[in-house]
């Protein structure tokens, strides 16, 4: 049983964190239309809302921002120093993703809080809202059932994780209890209703790449990666090419056309030559979601690197 003193200390730290975040940020996090809350070095607070332009909603005092970052670091058991002025963690409120920087990396505290999806949007809802066509939704369902590897690509804030959750929802409906899923992330964003699912979290002590090796020894049927950002891309390709098909991974790319080159660049961070041939074997479908300046999202028709 958790020590009472430790439990009470954590409760007090969370209460302190809420005071430091303040009513403006807390109200924004409670707003179902808000996707992200951001603080700039000039102290201005901004929000990104669904279907709207980003809006300044107030200011945050620099001393309060400093204190808030320190409180969050304590709760997350992380250290922020001059040589390591960054923190990437989850808020102990509702699991929101938090990325923050302090001087000397920036002039003053800067952060972005990305909210978790309040609920899972289904592929049918994407169709109803005009974000994707029925044909694209059917293609995604067919790909998951057929154990095809799917790369979900898009720019910052385009909705890659939300779309991936919709695909995972379709997967859960299709396979029930018949398969074991392993999901590797830096911060919890993906949701999967398959009963036999293991969520793995990368930390400063255990990287995504190391967790991928762990995952392959935990009897997975499918391996999912929340977002590939580094040389773990090469390990993922090997996993998907050697007996673990049917995975899903997200990747940041500025255009649909540049997605495969972006993945190849990440693979080469592992010190290997171009892996384009392996990419075309491993990635069966690439689906790109784009976000217009007015916040409108649209899923483009998928393309098939190795042929349909």
CATH number at residue 72: 3.30.450.90
On whether residue 236 sits in a domain, the answer given is yes
Of 114, 135, 152, which residue is a domain's last? 114
3, pLDDT greater than 60: no
Average pLDDT (171-199) is 92
On whether residue 192 sits in a domain, the answer given is yes
Angle at 221 between CA 220 and CA 227, to 5 degrees: 75
Do 159 and 92 share a domain, yes or no?
Answer: no
- Residue holding tokens 């005092």? 61
Note the pLDDT of residue 1. 44
Do 127 and 154 share a domain, yes or no?
Answer: yes
Distance CA 100, CA 50 (A): 23
On whether residue 153 sits in a domain, the answer given is yes
Do 153 and 255 share a domain, yes or no?
Answer: yes
Do 265 and 142 share a domain, yes or no?
Answer: yes
Looking at the structure of the chain, the number of domains it has is 2
- Sign of the CA dihedral with 25 first, then 29, 30, and 34 last: positive
In this structure, of 52-66, 125-139, 233-247, the range with the lowest mean pLDDT score is 233-247
Tokens standing for 169? 């929802």
Note the pLDDT of residue 198. 96
Average pLDDT (67-86) is 91
On whether residue 308 sits in a domain, the answer given is no
What order do you get walking across the sheet with 44-49 strand by strand? Answer: 55-59, 44-49, 34-39, 110-114, 97-101, 86-90
Which neighbouring-strand residues pair with 290?
298
DSSP H or E segment with residue 288: strand 285-291
70, pLDDT greater than 80: yes
On whether residue 304 sits in a domain, the answer given is no
Residue 220 CB partners (closer than 8 Å, separation 6+): 180, 181, 182, 244
Torsion of CA 45, 20, 15, 7, to 10 degrees: 100
Where residue 143 sits, what CATH number does that domain have? 3.40.50.300
Tokens standing for 134? 């029925």
Do 58 and 100 share a domain, yes or no?
Answer: yes
What are 91-104's pLDDT values in tens digits? 998 888 899 999 99
Largest pairwise CA distance in the chain: 60
Note the pLDDT of residue 81. 87
Do 198 and 229 share a domain, yes or no?
Answer: yes
Contacts 24+ apart (CB under 8 A), 84-87: none
Average pLDDT (6-29) is 93
Note the pLDDT of residue 14. 94
In this structure, of 2-11, 143-152, 162-171, 177-186, the range with the lowest mean pLDDT score is 2-11
Q: Report the mean per-residue pLDDT for the chain.
A: 91
2, pLDDT greater than 80: no
Average pLDDT (207-217) is 89
Which comes out higher in pLDDT, residue 72 or 120? 72
Quick check: 235 and 212 in contact, CB under 8 A?
yes
Of 114, 131, 166, which residue is a domain's last? 114
Note the pLDDT of residue 243. 80
In this structure, of 66-80, 263-277, 291-305, the range with the lowest mean pLDDT score is 291-305
Of 83, 114, 145, which residue is a domain's last? 114
Note the pLDDT of residue 164. 96
- Sign of the CA dihedral with 34 first, then 184, 134, and 261 last: positive
253, pLDDT greater than 80: yes
Query: 44-49 and 55-59 as β-strands: parallel, antiparallel, unpaired?
Result: antiparallel
Do 9 and 155 share a domain, yes or no?
Answer: no
DSSP H or E segment with residue 167: helix 160-175
Do 109 and 138 share a domain, yes or no?
Answer: no
Do 99 and 156 share a domain, yes or no?
Answer: no
- Residue holding tokens 């005071």? 19
On whether residue 306 sits in a domain, the answer given is no
Q: Buried (b) or exposed (e) across 193-217, using 16+ Cβ within 10 A?
A: ebebbeebebeeeebbbebbeebbe
Give the range of the structural domain holding residue 83, as residue numbers without chain letter.
Answer: 4-114
Do 47 and 22 share a domain, yes or no?
Answer: yes
Report the share of the chain in percent with pLDDT over 70: 97
Which comes out higher in pLDDT, residue 257 or 253? 253
Note the pLDDT of residue 5. 78
Do 159 and 242 share a domain, yes or no?
Answer: yes
User: Which pTM was predicted?
Assistant: 0.78
Average pLDDT (12-29) is 96
Query: 150-154 and 285-291 as β-strands: parallel, antiparallel, unpaired?
Result: parallel
Do 101 and 137 share a domain, yes or no?
Answer: no
């Amino acid at each position: 049983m958790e020590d009472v003193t430790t439990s009470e200390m954590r409760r007090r730290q969370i209460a302190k964190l809420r005071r430091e975040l303040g009513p403006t940020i807390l109200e924004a996090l409670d707003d179902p239309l808000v996707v992200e809350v951001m603080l700039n070095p000039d102290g201005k607070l901004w929000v990104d809302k669904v279907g709207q332009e980003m809006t300044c909603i107030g200011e945050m005092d620099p001393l309060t921002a400093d204190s808030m970052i320190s409180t969050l670091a304590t709760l997350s058991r992380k250290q922020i120093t001059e040589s390591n002025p960054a923190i990437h963690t989850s808020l102990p409120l509702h699991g929101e993703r938090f990325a923050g920087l302090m001087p000397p990396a920036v002039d003053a505290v800067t952060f972005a809080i990305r909210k978790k999806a309040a609920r899972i949007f289904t592929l049918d809802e994407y169709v109803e809202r005009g974000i994707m066509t029925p044909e694209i939704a059917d293609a995604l369902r067919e790909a998951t059932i057929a154990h095809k590897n799917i790369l979900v690509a898009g720019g910052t804030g385009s909705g890659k994780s939300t779309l991936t959750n919709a695909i995972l929802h379709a997967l859960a409906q299709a396979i029930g209890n018949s398969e074991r899923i392993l999901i590797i992330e830096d911060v919890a964003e993906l949701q999967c209703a398959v009963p036999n699912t293991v969520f793995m979290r990368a930390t400063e002590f255990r990287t995504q790449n190391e967790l991928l090796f762990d995952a392959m020894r935990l009897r997975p049927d499918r391996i999912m990666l929340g977002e590939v950002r580094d040389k773990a891309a090469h390990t993922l390709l090997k996993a998907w090419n050697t007996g673990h098909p049917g995975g899903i991974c997200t990747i940041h790319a500025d255009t649909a056309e540049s997605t495969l080159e972006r993945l190849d660049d990440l693979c080469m961070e592992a010190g290997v030559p171009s892996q384009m041939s392996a990419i075309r074997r491993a990635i069966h479908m690439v689906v790109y979601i784009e976000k217009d300046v007015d916040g409108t999202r649209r899923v483009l028709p998928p393309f098939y690197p190795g042929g349909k």
